[in-house]
Homo-oligomer: A and B are copies of this chain.
Amino acid sequence: MISKALIDEFEKIAGSENIFTDKTDRVAYSYDAAVLDAVMPALVVRPVHNEALGQIVRLCNDNRLPLTVRGSGTNLSGGTVPSAEGIVVVTNALQKILEINTADMLVVVQPGVVTAKLAAAVEAKGLFYPPDPGSQAVSTIGGNVAENAGGLRGLKYGVTRDYVMGIEFFDVNGELVKTGSRTVKCATGYNLTGLMVGSEGTLGVFSEITLKLIPKPVHYKAMMAVFDKMDDASQAVAAIIAAHIVPATLEIMDNFTIRAVEDFSKAGLPTDAAALLLIETDGHPAQTEEDAAKVESICRQNRATSIHVAQDAAERDKVWLARRNALAALAKLKPTLVLEDATVPRSRIPEMVREIQAIGSQYDLPIGIFGHAGDGNLHPTILTDKRNKKEWERVEAAIEAIFDKALAMGGTLSGEHGTGIAKARFLEKETTPATIVYSKRVKKALDPHNILNPGKIIG
């Protein structure tokens, strides 16, 4: 139990209105979007300025209190599940966009800024922040950077990592570390920016993030290709990639997902289709149209039964919104939703789709498939009820089988959801023992008392 004296110290730093000790409050911060057991924190603190943030980190370290930073808690690997009797630091009061610099095409933000708000703010100035995780309507930039969040535009525009120019963060002693630069090129010092991206709050606590922006694409074309077989759809994906066409998005959905999404969103998806590809090309109008024509032709060669081009922005937005709501749509159907993101080199998508289907049969589980086919990042979905122990055992075995297949194809455990608690114990399947030892040395050197989000990534 945390002492009254310590709570008083947190209060002195953050103000009594920003300290939450009631059980009902603490329950709300005891879990995130991953399927993991909830863990009750001792205290929730909401700093309203950076000075308080640094002091909180220091106070936690001085008192050996485990500290978990949390944006909106949308992450899917348990990265924001706190430690028992630990402190949760909520960043949602640190939500200022500090600067949008149109000349240098960068933006400086506090960690609690919501991703979609940032994207809208820079679009209003003719600029573009491409990373678009499915949770962007509520997720925060701090969380995106901590998890190296991906999204639908990964194949053309990359992921969060590719847009982080610099980070200011508090080290475990509450001292301010500044990494990176406002320049396009920076070869000064260690690339601590790179190390911090995806470090899940285990190496420091972000206070300010500088992100690269690019000019907004002037033109786009969205289409939906309908297939009678999932295999045809995934072969079309492989063929688009082999032709070295790089659409902005290239999403796949199987019939299971289509029906769930349509039921939830009423976007007009064909519920009798075995599979859909949702594709958008963008850029210069000529490039966009040529790429779209090539994509259409490749889809037809791979037996697409119909191709529908969005006629206006409203129609396009409706379909993308439906796709973005896939997780919510699926989550409604059963008590427990497992959304995996083992990822393969993009040419292996057809093989991976078949393997996931085979695993579903083997373990007698319906596994839905949707996701970012164009960058090899599928989201196999299992709907279950964790309280059904027998079925849950099969679910866990199926997940591990999916990992094994992805790794056998040269893939990775996580494309964009992070390692967190959920995948920490599988790390040794993917890499060498020395890699884990190396990682642990870094962690130990930077957080000797293991108070920064303990148990994440390396267990």
Contact = CB atoms under 8 A, between A and B. Distances in A.
A419 interface: yes
A198 B415 CA distance: 24
A324 interface: no
Interface stretch (A10-18, A298-306, A432-440): A432-440
A167 to B, nearest CB: 11
Nearest to A215: B244
Given A215-B244, A244-B105, A345-B104, A195 B190 contact: yes
A414 B154 contact: no
Interface in A401-459: 410-419, 423, 427, 430-439, 441-442, 444-446, 457-458
**This chain's copy number in the assembly:** 2
A340 interface: no
A438 B197 contact: no
Interface stretch (A42-50, A173-181, A267-275): A173-181
A172 to B, nearest CB: 10
A59 interface: no
A41 to B, nearest CB: 24
B345 A183 contact: yes
Contact of A284 (B101, B175, B286, B435): B286
B423 A183 contact: no
Interface string A329-372: 00000000000000111110000000000000000000000001
Contacts of A414: 186-188
Contacts of A177: 431-432, 434-435, 438
B439 A190 contact: yes
A427 B195 contact: no
A394 to B, nearest CB: 24
Range, interface on chain A: 35 or more
B432 A187 contact: no
B175 A159 contact: no
A42 to B, nearest CB: 28
Interface in A356-396: 372, 375-377
A171 interface: yes
B287 A178 contact: no
Interface string A216-256: 00000000000000000000001001101010000000000
A375 B181 CA distance: 13
A21 B215 CA distance: 55
A257 interface: no
A435 B203 CA distance: 13
A441 to B, nearest CB: 4
A147 B191 CA distance: 11
A438 B192 contact: yes
Contacts of A416: 185, 187
Contact of A188 (B103, B186, B419, B444): B419
A203 to B, nearest CB: 8
Given A161-B194, A178-B435, A347-B103, A415 B457 contact: no
A260 interface: no
A281 to B, nearest CB: 11
A118 interface: no
B181 A411 contact: yes
Given A184-B376, A204-B438, 10 more contacts: A162-B162, A183-B375, A184-B415, A185-B372, A187-B198, A187-B414, A192-B439, A195-B442, A284-B286, A442-B445
The 10 closest A-B pairs by CB, nearest first: A194-B194, A445-B445, A175-B434, A103-B347, A286-B286, A185-B415, A284-B287, A184-B375, A215-B244, A181-B412
